[in-house]
């Protein structure tokens, strides 16, 4: 790295560790905080927060003379970049308070030299990147987001050996700075767009919170029947294929099938029977229903008269339609007055009566739905196609049919498997993942 220092603005949990760690590794750093007791303590080698390894990093930085500490924002005039780590607490209205962040940006706008890069490491609400760009009003300053995922108590270790580093920017100069800053961790570094980075940090923490609340709810529903919740959760975590893995973590259709719906209902009823307050379990089916309504609304927003749905099993390729979400979607669209045609080769392939189209009609369970002999027949005349849970054969047939109408690809399944040529033949494909 060259010799112009990097400023770290805000020396709380994130900033003090960021500044000390970078300086200990030989980067020239200026730590800037409003609170003189914090900068004074760090200048004397005292960690402002009790984090293992922090004083060691401060000592190394002191011996290398790489860390300067101040309360004076005018030092930004000497910095090629600033890492903004100020607090963004939650306000009474539930929104993150960004006043300190905006004040830090004002300092950057006022003092930073030309071609400065400003990297926001604080957790921010959706839309903050654009707001920050307008607030800075310095087109020469490259703006990036680089949310921090460290945990208090292991902050130094988390920061220096992260599982994932994410940055986002619309500015290539800022992108090059971030890549250089994390050059020794490049295999962990992912670039995304600013709106994704903003939401990612919030979703990440919601996920952690959900896991804690889930485990606690498990304890509350197991204790009344004398079951050890630690044993249950330990066995749950022992399955790293389905339980603690990426399985089931892809947005798409609501869940269905022979087991999930009934067993969620069962554990919710068990909780109620024992007078246990279990709002998480109690809201899972409600959330599932909300997603079905969202899909119905998405379809209706296109104002189609005829909708084709490809694949009605409870999961991709399944012939089993028990509690199947695509079938529920068929019914909801029929109830909304639409004409619905359905193709599903897996269901047509039934081995015991009813066979063929009768099997599909039976699966749909509503005489208003039109069972089609194949995908081409289903999509012919449709104003919109929904990719439900198709088998591989139907997915390929859908691409071959190349309908020139909107395709709602709920799980992005189809889009993921398309070649550029196939993608061009389908227009437009509306994927849940990119509706903005």
Ligand X SMILES: NC(=O)c1ccc[n+]([C@@H]2O[C@H](COP(=O)([O-])OP(=O)(O)OC[C@H]3O[C@@H](n4cnc5c(N)ncnc54)[C@H](O)[C@@H]3O)[C@@H](O)[C@H]2O)c1
The set of catalytic residues is: 259
Binding residues for ligand X (CB under 6 A)? 9-15, 32-35, 38, 85-88, 100, 103-104, 122-123, 148, 150-152
Note whether 316 and 398 are within 8 A (CB).
no
| Residue whose CB is less far from ligand X, 146 or 410 | 146
| CA 189 remoteness from chain centre | 16
Cα angle 213-218-224, degrees, rounded to a multiple of 5: 130
Note whether 155 and 54 are within 8 A (CB).
yes
**Minimum distance of ligand X from residue 33's CB (angstroms):** 4
Q: Using CA atoms, how far apart are residues 151 and 260, in angstroms rounded to an integer?
A: 33
| Residue whose CB is less far from ligand X, 154 or 216 | 154
Provide the token pair at 80: 């090629």
Q: Widest CA span of the chain, in angstroms?
A: 82
**Minimum distance of ligand X from residue 174's CB (angstroms):** 19
**Minimum distance of ligand X from residue 7's CB (angstroms):** 10
Phi-psi region of 111 (alpha: psi -120 to 50; beta: other; left: phi over 0): alpha
Phi-psi region of 418 (alpha: psi -120 to 50; beta: other; left: phi over 0): beta
**Minimum distance of ligand X from residue 87's CB (angstroms):** 3
Q: Using CA atoms, how far apart are residues 218 and 231, in angstroms rounded to an integer?
A: 11
SS (H, E, C) 301-357: HCCCCEEEEEEECCCCCCCCCCCCHHHHHHHHHHHCCCEEEEECHHHHCCCCCCCHH
| Residue whose CB is less far from ligand X, 100 or 320 | 100
Q: Using CA atoms, how far apart are residues 398 and 390, in angstroms rounded to an integer?
A: 9
Which residues, 6+ apart, have CB-to-CB distance to 408 below 8 Å?
295, 298, 299, 384, 385, 386, 387, 430, 432
Q: Using CA atoms, how far apart are residues 265 and 284, in angstroms rounded to an integer?
A: 9
| Residue whose CB is less far from ligand X, 13 or 314 | 13
**Minimum distance of ligand X from residue 205's CB (angstroms):** 8
Residue nearest to ligand X (CB): 12
| Residue whose CB is less far from ligand X, 33 or 323 | 33
Phi-psi region of 346 (alpha: psi -120 to 50; beta: other; left: phi over 0): alpha
**Minimum distance of ligand X from residue 178's CB (angstroms):** 17
Provide the token pair at 316: 């991709």
If you search the block for the tokens 């190349």, which residue do you land on?
402
| Residue whose CB is less far from ligand X, 33 or 344 | 33
**Minimum distance of ligand X from residue 38's CB (angstroms):** 5
């Amino acid at each position: 790295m060259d010799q112009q220092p990097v400023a770290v603005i805000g020396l709380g949990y994130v900033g003090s560790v960021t500044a000390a760690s970078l300086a200990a590794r030989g980067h020239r750093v200026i730590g800037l905080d409003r609170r003189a007791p914090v900068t004074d303590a760090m200048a004397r080698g005292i960690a402002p927060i009790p984090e293992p390894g922090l004083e060691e990093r401060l000592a190394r930085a002191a011996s290398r003379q790489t860390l300067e500490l101040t309360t004076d924002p005018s030092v930004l005039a000497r910095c090629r970049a600033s890492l903004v780590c100020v607090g963004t607490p939650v306000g009474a209205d539930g929104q993150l308070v960004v006043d300190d962040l905006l004040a830090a940006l004002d300092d950057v706008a006022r003092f930073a030299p030309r071609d400065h890069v400003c990297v926001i490491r604080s957790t921010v609400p959706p839309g903050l990147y654009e707001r920050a760009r307008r607030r800075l009003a310095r087109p020469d300053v490259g703006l990036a987001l680089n949310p921090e995922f460290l945990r208090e108590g292991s902050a130094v270790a988390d920061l220096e050996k992260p599982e994932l580093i994410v940055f986002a920017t619309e500015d290539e100069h800022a992108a090059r700075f971030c890549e250089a800053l994390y050059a020794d961790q490049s295999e962990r570094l992912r670039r995304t767009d600013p709106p994704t980075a903003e939401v990612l940090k919030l979703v990440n923490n919601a996920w952690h919170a959900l896991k804690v609340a889930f485990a606690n709810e498990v304890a509350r529903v197991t204790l009344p029947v004398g079951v050890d919740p630690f044993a249950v959760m330990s066995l749950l975590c022992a399955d790293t294929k389905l339980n603690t893995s990426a399985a089931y973590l892809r947005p798409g259709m609501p869940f269905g099938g022979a087991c999930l719906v009934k067993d969620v209902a069962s554990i919710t009823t068990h909780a109620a029977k024992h007078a246990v307050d279990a709002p998480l379990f109690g809201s899972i089916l409600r959330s599932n229903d909300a997603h079905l309504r969202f899909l119905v609304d998405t379809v209706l927003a296109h104002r189609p008269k005829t909708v084709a749905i490809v694949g009605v099993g409870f999961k991709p390729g399944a012939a089993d339609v028990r509690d199947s979400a695509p079938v529920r979607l068929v019914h909801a669209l029929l109830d909304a007055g639409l004409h619905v045609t359905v193709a599903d080769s897996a269901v047509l392939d039934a081995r015991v009566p009813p066979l063929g189209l009768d099997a599909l009609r039976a699966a749909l369970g509503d005489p208003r739905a039109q069972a089609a002999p194949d995908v081409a027949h289903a999509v012919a005349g449709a104003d919109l196609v929904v990719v439900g849970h198709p088998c591989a054969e139907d997915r390929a047939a859908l691409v071959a049919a190349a309908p020139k109408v909107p395709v709602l690809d709920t799980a992005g399944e189809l889009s993921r498997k398309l070649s550029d040529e196939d993608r061009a033949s389908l227009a437009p494909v509306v994927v849940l993942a990119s509706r903005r």
